[in-house]
Amino acid sequence: MNKKKADQQASHKNTHVENPSGTAQRARLLERLQAGPIDTFTAIRELNIVRPGARINELRGLGHKILTHRLTLTDDQGRTHQGMALYYLSTNPPAGVTA
Residue 25: which CATH number? 1.10.10
Question: What is residue 64's predicted lDDT score, i.e. its pLDDT?
Answer: 98
Number of structural domains (the chain) is: 1
> What is this structure's pTM?
0.79
* CB contact at 8 A, 65 and 89: yes
Question: What is residue 94's predicted lDDT score, i.e. its pLDDT?
Answer: 87
User: Mean of the pLDDT values across residues 73-78?
Assistant: 95
Question: What is residue 97's predicted lDDT score, i.e. its pLDDT?
Answer: 78
84 within a domain of the structure (yes/no): yes
48 within a domain of the structure (yes/no): yes
pLDDT per residue as tens digits for the range 28-58: 999 999 999 999 999 999 999 999 999 999 9
Q: E strands of the chain, at which residues?
A: 38-39, 66-74, 80-89
What is the percent of the chain where pLDDT is above 90?
72
Strands 80-89 and 66-74: antiparallel
- Place 11 in a pLDDT band, splitting at 50, 70 and 90: very low
8 within a domain of the structure (yes/no): no
